[in-house]
Chains A and B, each alone.
Chain A
Amino acid sequence: MLGKSIFRDDAHGKVTGSALYPGDIEKDHFLHAKLLFTGQPHARMIRMDTAAAEAVPGVVCILKAEDVPVNEHGLVMLDQPVMVGLNSKKPFSDVSRWEGDRAAMIVAETEEAAARARDLIEIEWEQLPVVTSPVEAMRDETIIHGEEPSNVYKHYRIRKGEMAAGWAAADVIVEETYQVPMQEHAYLQPEAGVSYIDEEGRVTVEVAGQWTHEDQTLIAHALDIPKEQVRVIYPAIGGAFGGREDMSVQIVLALASQRLREMGINRPVRIQWTREESVIGHHKRHAVTIHTRWGAAKTGELTAIEVEMILDAGSYNCTSNKVLGNAHLTVAGPYRIPNAHIDSYAVYTNNCPGGAFRGFGAPQGCFVAESQMNKLAIALGIDPVELRLKNVLREGEASITDTPLPAGISIKTVIEQCADKFEEPFSGAQVLPRSFQSLPADPKALRRGRGFACALKNIGFSFGFPERSEAYVELRGRGEIDRVVVRHAGADVGQGAHTAFKQMVAEAVGVPYEKVEGVFSDTAYTGDSGSASASRLTWMTGNAIRGAVEKALTLWKQEERPAVGFFRYQPPPTEMLDDKTGKSNPNITYGYVAEAVDVTVDIETGHITIDRVVCANDVGRAVNPNLIEGQIEGAVVQAFGYAVTENLQSKNGHILNPRFSTYLIPGIRDVPQKVESLIIEEPDPQGPWGVRGMAEMPFIPLAPAITAALYDATGVWFNELPLTPGNVRMRLKNTLVPDLT
Chain B
Amino acid sequence: MIPGEFDYHSPQTLAEAISLLVEHGDEAKILAGGQSLIPAMRFRLALPGTLIDINRIDGLSYLREENGHLLIGAMTRESALEESDIVQSKYHLLADAAAVIADPLVRNLATVGGNIAHSDPANDHPAVMLAYGATVMAAGPNGTRRIAIDDFFTDLFENSLEENEILTEIRIPTPAAGTGGAYLKLERKVGDYAISAAAVQLTMSGGTCTAARIGLTNVSPVPMRAKNAEQALVGQTLTDDVIEAAGQAAAAECDPSQDLRGSVAYKRDLTRVMVKRTIRKAMERAN
Q: Which residues of A pack against B, CB within 8 Å?
A: 112, 115, 274, 276, 604-607, 645, 647, 649, 656-657, 661-662, 664, 666-667, 669-670, 724-726, 729-730, 733, 741
Contacts and interface: CB of A to CB of B under 8 A. Distances in A.
Interface in B233-258: 240, 243-244
A725 B186 contact: yes
A369 B54 CA distance: 59
A100 to B, nearest CB: 17
A138 to B, nearest CB: 28
B189 A667 contact: yes
Interface stretch (B16-24, B26-34, B147-155, B260-268): B260-268
A662 B191 CA distance: 11
Given A605-B186, A670-B190, 9 more contacts: A115-B2, A276-B1, A605-B270, A647-B188, A669-B191, A725-B186, A725-B195, A725-B266, A741-B240
Contacts of B274: 605
Contact of B244 (A607, A647, A741): A741
A733 B192 contact: no
Contacts of B103: 667
Contacts of A741: 240, 243-244, 276
A454 B273 CA distance: 36
Interface of B: 1-2, 39, 103, 186, 188-192, 195, 240, 243-244, 260-263, 265-267, 269-270, 273-274, 276
A657 B260 contact: yes
A587 B25 CA distance: 70
A729 B270 contact: yes
B188 A604 contact: no
Contacts of B262: 724-726, 730
B270 A645 contact: no
A112 B4 CA distance: 12
Contact of A607 (B1, B186, B260): B186
A647 B262 CA distance: 11
B103 to A, nearest CB: 7
A664 B265 CA distance: 22
B189 A725 contact: no
A667 B269 contact: no
Given A661-B39, A726-B263, A605 B273 contact: yes
Contacts of B240: 741
Given A605-B270, A605-B273, A725 B188 contact: yes
A606 B196 CA distance: 13
A648 to B, nearest CB: 10
Contacts of B186: 605, 607, 725
Contacts of A670: 189-190
16 contacts: A604-B273, A605-B273, A607-B186, A647-B188, A649-B260, A662-B260, A664-B189, A664-B192, A667-B103, A669-B190, A724-B188, A725-B262, A726-B262, A729-B270, A733-B269, A741-B276
A645 B39 CA distance: 22
A647 B273 contact: no
A604 to B, nearest CB: 5
B283 to A, nearest CB: 14
B189 A645 contact: yes
A528 to B, nearest CB: 39
Nearest to B270: A605
A41 to B, nearest CB: 20
A664 B193 CA distance: 11
A587 to B, nearest CB: 37
Contacts of A656: 260
Contacts of A669: 190-191
B2 A112 contact: yes
B265 A647 contact: no
B99 to A, nearest CB: 12
Contacts of B2: 112, 115
Contacts of B244: 741
Contact of B269 (A607, A645, A729): A729
Given A605-B270, A667-B189, A741-B276, A730 B265 contact: yes
A726 B186 CA distance: 11
A646 to B, nearest CB: 9
A670 B190 CA distance: 6
Contacts of A733: 269
Nearest to B103: A667
A427 to B, nearest CB: 23
Contacts of B261: 726
A50 B136 CA distance: 53
A666 B243 CA distance: 34
A726 B192 CA distance: 15
A724 B269 CA distance: 15
Q: Which of B2, B240, B266, B267 has most A Cβ within 10 Å?
A: B266
A554 B267 CA distance: 72
Contacts of B188: 645, 647, 664, 724-725
A276 B1 CA distance: 9
Contacts of A730: 262-263, 265-266
A649 B262 CA distance: 12
Q: Which of B103, B188, B192, B267 has most A Cβ within 10 Å?
A: B188
A618 to B, nearest CB: 32
B266 A729 contact: yes
A667 B188 CA distance: 11
**7 A-B pairs with least C-beta separation:** A726-B262, A669-B190, A726-B266, A664-B189, A604-B273, A670-B189, A645-B189
Nearest to B277: A604
Nearest to A648: B260
Nearest to B192: A664
Contacts of B192: 664
B178 to A, nearest CB: 24
A529 B11 CA distance: 60
Nearest to A112: B2
A271 to B, nearest CB: 15
A609 to B, nearest CB: 11
Contacts of B267: 726
Nearest to B195: A725
Contacts of A662: 260
Contact of A667 (B1, B190, B265, B276): B190
B21 to A, nearest CB: 29
Contacts of A276: 1
Nearest to B266: A726
Contacts of B39: 661
Contact of A726 (B1, B195, B243, B273): B195
A313 B136 CA distance: 55
Nearest to A665: B189
Contacts of B189: 645, 664, 666-667, 670
B112 to A, nearest CB: 21
Contacts of B273: 604-605
A446 to B, nearest CB: 12
B262 to A, nearest CB: 3
Contacts of B265: 730
Contacts of A607: 186
Nearest to A722: B188
Contacts of A724: 188, 262
A725 B190 CA distance: 13
B45 to A, nearest CB: 12
A639 B276 CA distance: 33
Nearest to A724: B188
B101 to A, nearest CB: 14
Q: Which of A649, A730, A741 has most B Cβ within 10 Å?
A: A741
Q: Which of A661, A670, A725, A733 has most B Cβ within 10 Å?
A: A725
Nearest to A276: B1
A689 B270 CA distance: 55
A667 B240 CA distance: 36
B250 to A, nearest CB: 14
Contacts of B260: 647, 649, 656-657, 662
Contacts of A605: 186, 270, 273-274
